Amino acid sequence: MTDPSALSGELAVGDELSVVFARMSGLLLSRESMTSALALVTSLAADTVPGAFGCGVSLLDERGRRTSAGASDPRVEQADSLQYQFDQGPCLAAWAQQAVVRVEDTAAETRWPRWASAAAATGLRSALSAPLVTGGSRLGAIKVYGDRPGVFDVRAEDLLVRFGAQASVLLANMQAYEGAQELSEGLKQALLSRDVIGTAKGILMARDGVDADTAFGMLVSVSQRQNVKLREVAQGIVAATARRRR
């Protein structure tokens, strides 16, 4: 028979997380930046997980190198930096093992001695890390820290895992959105370059009576000789022609 108190607790957790998830979804719809997304995720996680005074998120590439990071507290940022300085720690382990990692007491932790000793010196005494995964892709890890030993339990693990699952969707979508923006900007610049180069070729063809291939070769020759981009050479020719026509 289901324990009514356990069911009540589960519903309370669900209600609490639903509000958090709604705020994260709202951020995606507002098309904020990745920096804003990381700030919101770390702030909400620190408020959601019992015993946490701060949260950090690290987005990693396939080699475990940070591509983006956010922290809700300077000590959290310092603890995260120490993991990369020593190349060891619970966050990196959670990402590599794709599992929740709990540190009961940094002062007694033996799995990552260099990191644990340095983290304890900052006043961080406990930690809980969970991987960020979506669509089979490992994005990074989310972690919360406590300033007392043993503040995180099984319930905290469950909360962080559920929180991390939703945060993964948000952050993956933010990455895709920013990537699309960069691609769009790159395509726009490529089209502009093509247009200005085409205009410069036309000017040389009309001025010197050469064909398109020869005109393009003339642009390339100037680009190599002056060690400047082909687009800049073309822009110079177009601008000079425009000035003469005034």
Structural domain boundaries in the chain:
4-179, 183-244
- Within the chain, residue ranges assigned H as helices are 4-30, 34-48, 74-86, 90-97, 113-121, 154-208, 212-226, 230-244
Domain 183-244 classification at class level: mainly alpha
For residues 120 and 82, give the distance between their C-alpha atoms in angstroms, rounded to a whole number: 11
CATH superfamily label, 4-179:
GAF domain (3.30.450.40)
Q: What is the tens place of the pLDDT at every residue in 47-68?
A: 889 999 999 999 988 888 887 7
Question: What single-letter DSSP state applies at residue 52?
Answer: -
Q: What is the tens place of the pLDDT at every residue in 210-234?
A: 888 888 888 878 887 888 787 888 8
Average pLDDT, the chain: 81
Nearest Cα to 130, choosing from 49, 68, 74, 37? 49
Residue whose token pair is 């370059």: 193
